[in-house]
Amino acid sequence: MAIHGNELYFPTHTQTLKIDHTQTNPSSVLVLEEVAENLVFHGDDLYFNAGSTISKITVTDQPPTIVDVVTSGLNSPNYLAFKGDVLYIADDRFENGMEVSDIFKIDVSGSDTTPTHVIDGPDVGLQGLAFHGDGDELYFTSFSPDANSRIMKIDVSQASPTPTEVISGLTGLPHDIAFDENDLYISLSNNKIVKIDVTADSPTTTDVLSIVGPYKLLVDGSYLYIGSLDSETGYFTKYTDATLSLEPITQTNALRIYPNPVQEELQVLGITNTQHYTLYNLLGVASGQGTIANGGSVTVSDLPKGLYFLKLEGVQTLKFIKE
């Protein structure tokens, strides 16, 4: 999700919509007749990925036209963050026989948008990119099925940045992060949102709230916006520390899978018709296929531990972790 003025942009499983997040019970407005994932704004330009392609639209244009920015060099981008004109991209891939998540960058002000490698991810999973204010420190989550979940950072002003651990031993799989000044909010798979003060010598987590299925986070003004997925629906809420209040914004028919990470059965919700699916590993090799209806499940107990993709024919691809 991403905010532009009073408008909150978000994908469903078939479209990209927007709402006025300042209204009570806002109505959704169609933006694109396709799924735009991992949204981030750069001025009036909304950047997103669809599969391995990074694209953009200018939201002040009516209707907006999709312009492809990066069409090669990435495998499965999953999180985006801007530092000035430079777009940083977390990308899942398979290198030297291992599953990895690396960070790349492109300068969107230039004509050459070939992704430049920044770092190799320290663990299998890397997501939730966020810059600390206007500084050069880029924070991200890092995890693997067999290791501690942790928060890392790099200094992007360095020619060859070295990842530094900020905090480890998080109690759930970290999905996303967002800054409010020096406080870094973290959404976890154990239905919690916590925060840390990144200026502390030894940061420790403080519980913020418990909420089912917190996934995407975004800070705008005094509010923390939360995109959540549960067994019934997808929904958006906003929270403020000032009043400790959690306000619903809207529900969506977002395509969602849970639990994630998963050990045995992966449940799929948000599809309207029976769909053919294929499971892929990071090499792009099919690991299973079949058909599934809304609320059905996919058995993944026989898969080795690692990162996988569930591709629903004609809909979209979702990433999950097999524990």
Spatial separation of the C-alpha atoms in residues 223 and 27, rounded to whole Å: 20
Distance CA 246, CA 286 (A): 42
Architecture of the 2-254 domain: 6 Propeller (2.120)
Mean pLDDT by 10 residues, the chain (323 residues): 94 84 88 89 95 94 94 91 97 72 94 94 85 97 78 96 94 91 94 96 95 90 86 76 73 70 84 83 83 86 86 75 83
What's residue 230's pLDDT?
A: 64
**Token digits of residue 223:** 């509010």
CA–CA separation, 120 and 87 (whole Å): 17
Contacts by 46-55 with C-beta closer than 8 Å and gap 24+?
Answer: 46/2, 46/4, 46/9, 47/80, 47/82, 47/87, 47/108, 48/16, 48/80, 49/74, 49/77, 49/78, 49/80, 51/76, 51/317, 52/76, 52/77, 54/80, 54/87, 54/89, 54/106, 54/113
The pTM score is 0.84
Phi, psi at residue 167, to the nearest 5°? -155, 145
Q: Give the bridge partners for 309, in sequence order.
A: 280, 319
Confidence at residue 314, expressed as pLDDT on a 0 to 100 scale: 61
Q: Strands 164-170 and 86-95: what pairing? A: unpaired
User: What residue spans define the domains of the chain?
Assistant: 2-254, 265-322
What was the pLDDT predicted at 143? 83
Q: What is the pLDDT of residue 244?
A: 65
Q: Give residue 299's pLDDT.
A: 92
pLDDT at 298: 92
Which residue, 36, 65, 60, is CA-closest to 48? 36
Which structure tokens are listed for 275? Answer: 């769909």
Are 200 and 167 a contacting pair, CB within 8 Å?
no
- pLDDT the model gives residue 193: 95
